[in-house]
Amino acid sequence: MKAFIVDRYKKKGALRLGELPEPVLRDEDVLVEVHAAGLNPLDSKIRDGEFKLILPYRPPFILGHDVAGTVVRIGPKVRRFKPGDEVYARPRDGRIGTFAQLIAINEADVALKPKNLSMEEAASIPLVGLTAWQALVEQAGLREGQRVLIHAGSGGVGTIAIQLAKHLGATVATTTSTANVELVRSLGADVVIDYRSQDFEKALSGYDLALSSLDAGTLQKSLNVLKPGGRLISISGPPDVAFARAQGLSWLLQQVMRLLSFGIRRKSRRHRVSYSFLFMRADGEQLSRITSLIEAGTIRPVIDRVFPFEATNEALAFIETGRSKGKVVVKLK
């Protein structure tokens, strides 16, 4: 099968389009023929070697974390899917590889594709949808009447998180550039901060939750918009000890994470705010709940561009500009 392969870790290194054997199907796996694959900043970071301590993939390996396609074969213990099912997924860590014609995925990570989405639209959802769900629903328990600041509202996570937060009954503020103000408003944002002309730290106060995917400076400034007892969740780091334990990392790496997050945790305590790092995990059941919201029209995908599979390197370069709205997808079929 054709696949885009990381031969060695290298910053902005090109993936190699090559031929690899079909993936081995385990007892609880579904073999999916890939129709479309979503791209994420995580792909670039893994290729660059930024996550080698946490996710020690050994080159050569196939990159890619989002997939939509058709089940072509199932393992003997699979009960929820059958050949011919249209599905989507974010394969679990250690088993990524959606930039390929075929991928074997544990059935627990898979959900039926929303009936009202194309394959390309469906491929844009899993990683960002699960990130938004795990931040707002699972970690924060966001409730009706609460106020949430979602940074980078026009990005992949932001576009979904705004819609999910509105569904949960929250008042939503978001930051974005001038060009994307109308987009985030159309998704439901109540308060829009144009970061080119406004300072969110001065414009907002008394918020229950802030979700950040940006740099350390933005993370620290976000503390000032939160009320005592509020929550600060970051998907861009620094990772904390709770994350290290959940990942089963060694005692030494746990101490490294403790040091990396020491500054923001100390400042959070001074503000009487809790800080946590979220590294989303695969979860087919949660993805099925997101499917229900998509089919009900509560959440819609936002896609900037669809590239042909052969242009996967160009698609990665495009998302690395930081200017894409929503998601970027590559199409195989």
Length of the chain: 333
Average pLDDT rounded to a whole number, residues 187-210: 96
**Which distant-in-sequence residues (6+ apart) come within 8 Å of 322 by Cβ?**
none
Does 248 have pLDDT greater than 90? no
pTM of the entire predicted model: 0.96
Does 193 have pLDDT greater than 90? yes
Q: What angle do CA 173, 45, 86 make, to 5 degrees?
A: 75
pLDDT digits (tens, 9 = 90+) for 53-76: 888 899 999 999 999 999 999 999
Q: Helix, strand or coil for residue 215? A: coil
262/153 Cα distance (integer angstroms): 27
pLDDT digits (tens, 9 = 90+) for 264-301: 999 999 999 999 999 999 999 999 999 999 999 999 99
**Tokens standing for residue 135:** 């931040």
Predicted local confidence at residue 148, as pLDDT: 98
Predicted local confidence at residue 198, as pLDDT: 94
Q: Helix, strand or coil for residue 29? A: strand
Which of left, alpha, beta for 248 (phi over 0: left; psi -120 to 50: alpha)? left
Which candidate, 234, 279, 283, places its Cα nearest to that of 261? 234
Does 187 have pLDDT greater than 90? yes
Predicted local confidence at residue 188, as pLDDT: 98
Which candidate, 137, 124, 130, 125, places its Cα nearest to that of 108? 130
Binned at pLDDT 50, 70 and 90, residue 322 comes out as confident
pLDDT digits (tens, 9 = 90+) for 21-37: 999 999 999 999 999 99
Burial environment of residue 167 by CB neighbours within 10 A (0 to 12, 13 to 18, 19 or more): middle
Predicted local confidence at residue 77, as pLDDT: 98
What φ, ψ does residue 20 adopt, rounded to 5°?
Answer: -135, 160
Q: Indicate the pairing of strand 171-176 with strand 191-194.
A: parallel
pLDDT digits (tens, 9 = 90+) for 97-117: 999 999 999 999 999 999 999
Residue type, 44: S
As beta bridge partners, residue 73 has: 31
Q: What angle do CA 49, 54, 58 make, to 5 degrees?
A: 55
Q: Helix, strand or coil for residue 108? A: helix
Q: What percent of the chain has pLDDT over 70?
A: 100
Burial 231-262 (b: 16+ CB within 10 A, else e): bbbbbbbbbbbebbeebebeeebbebbeebbe
Predicted local confidence at residue 153, as pLDDT: 97
Helices (H), 23-138: 41-48, 119-123, 126-133
In this structure, are residues 185 and 206 in contact, taking their beta carbons and an 8 Å threshold? no
Which candidate, 323, 7, 299, 317, places its Cα nearest to that of 124? 299
What φ, ψ does residue 269 adopt, rounded to 5°?
Answer: -60, -40
Residue type, 326: G
As beta bridge partners, residue 275 has: 232
Mean predicted lDDT score pLDDT of the chain: 96
Domains and CATH numbers, the chain: 2-125+301-331 (3.90.180.10), 127-277 (3.40.50.720)
Burial environment of residue 73 by CB neighbours within 10 A (0 to 12, 13 to 18, 19 or more): middle
Predicted local confidence at residue 323, as pLDDT: 86
In this structure, are residues 230 and 268 in contact, taking their beta carbons and an 8 Å threshold? no
**Tokens standing for residue 155:** 């990005």
